[in-house]
Amino acid sequence: MSSMFFQCLQAMLMLLMAPVLAGFLSTLKARLQNRHGAGILQPWRDIRKLFGKEVVLAEHASWIFRFTPYIVFTATAMAASVVPALLLDTPLSLTADVIALVALLGLARFFLALAGMDIGTAFGGMGASREMTFAALAEPAMLMSVFVLAIGAHSTNLTTMISHTLTTPLLIQPSIAFALVAMLMVAIAEAGRIPIDNPTTHLELTMIHEAMLLEYSGRHLALMEWASMVKLLLFSTLIIDLFIPWGISVESSFIGVLLAFVIWLLKLIVLLVALAVLETSLAKLRLFEVPQYLGTAFVLAFLGLILHYMLEVGA
């Protein structure tokens, strides 16, 4: 079967699986709180209902507020569809560059922050300023962590990086461990999870991501929520791709892709279980401690880079 077909399948899968995995995560968390939980399909039900609801627009909403959900969703969906999840070499894999990926997410974030300020509510502006403050610290840390691997692979293209990891013999590389820890820390911050942000909070004063969405309703809200679920899946897949890619299908055969799907799902489940346990056992960080947290991630990634030069280059 053609690799184009698998490319489309992979992109669809990322979009369709995102709410299911978000539901899986919230069910896990409910179980850890000794509750029954709403079931793994609840995010899908929420989205379906929101698409059928009326859209209420504030009086002062400009075109930015109306267009932002579509821009955010499209940018996130584009980023998610080029990340190799099942098949290594797809027609769009040339565009799967990590810097382009960060730029796409940056575009989504830029418009999200604009929309938060557009209405003029206090919480929207507050959320926007917080999001931008933390983004300015999270993005360099994420790129630095990716560069540790990119220098070894001589490319920032995901497909090239994955095939480099797959073809090189398994060695103990301390730089990768540093990069992994940094990446995990950044991913938690970027996906808006505890200890940085709490996606289920009702307290506007502690919100970061949600504070910018407070004015959205109906299909706009559905797209925004969906985009943030896709972002969580995107970061999980990125971590899998960069650090534990073994199992991804190299040639576009049906059996290979099916096997890759099962392995990808298993890895995702392990990551999400770890996240649920972490979220249950940690309290949210104070807002002013978040820069230190992200600074630590950057320093770890940077140490990884130095270690790479000290120990691994020429070895």
The contact set with another protein (CB under 8 A) reads: 30-39, 42, 45-46, 48-49, 52-56, 201-204, 207, 210, 213-218, 221, 277, 280-282
Report how far residue 49's alpha carbon sits from residue 175's, in angstroms, rounded to the nearest whole number: 46
Q: What is the nearest approach in angstroms of another protein to the Cβ of residue 39?
A: 7
Identity of the residue, 35 or 60, whose beta carbon is nearer to another protein in the bound complex: 35
244, 177 contact by CB (below 8 A): no
Of 159 and 198, CB closest to another protein? 198
Q: Which is nearer to another protein, 92 or 185 (CB)?
A: 185
Shortest reach from residue 217's CB to another protein, in Å: 4
Residue with Cβ nearer another protein (59 or 314): 59
Q: Which of 30/114 has CB closer to another protein? A: 30
Nearest distance in Å: CB 58, another protein: 9
Could you report how far apart the first and last alpha carbons of the chain are, in Å? 41
- In the complex, what is the shortest distance from the CB of residue 49 to another protein, in angstroms, rounded to a whole number? 4
- DSSP line for the chain: --HHHHHHHHHHHHHHHHHHHHHHHHHHHHHHTT---S-TTHHHHHHHHHHTSPPP--TT--HHHHHHHHHHHHHHHHHHHHS-SSBSS-GGGGG-BHHHHHHHHHHHHHHHHHHHHHS--HHHHHHHHHHHHHHHHHHHHHHHHHHHHHHHHT--BHHHHHHHHHHS-----HHHHHHHHHHHHHHHHHTT-TTT--TT---GGG-SSHHHHTT--HHHHHHHHHHHHHHHHHHHHHHHHHH--TT-BSS--HHHHHHHHHHHHHHHHHHHHHHHHHHHH-PPPPGGGHHHHHHHHHHHHHHHHHHIIIIITT-
Report the residue number, 218 or 256, with the smaller CB distance to another protein.
218
Cβ-contact 172, 213 below 8 angstroms: no
> For residue 97, what are the β-bridge partners?
157
Alpha carbons 217 and 53: distance in angstroms, whole number: 8
Closest to another protein by CB, 59 vs 169, is 59
CB of 11 to another protein, least distance (A): 26
Nearer to another protein, 90 or 198 (CB): 198
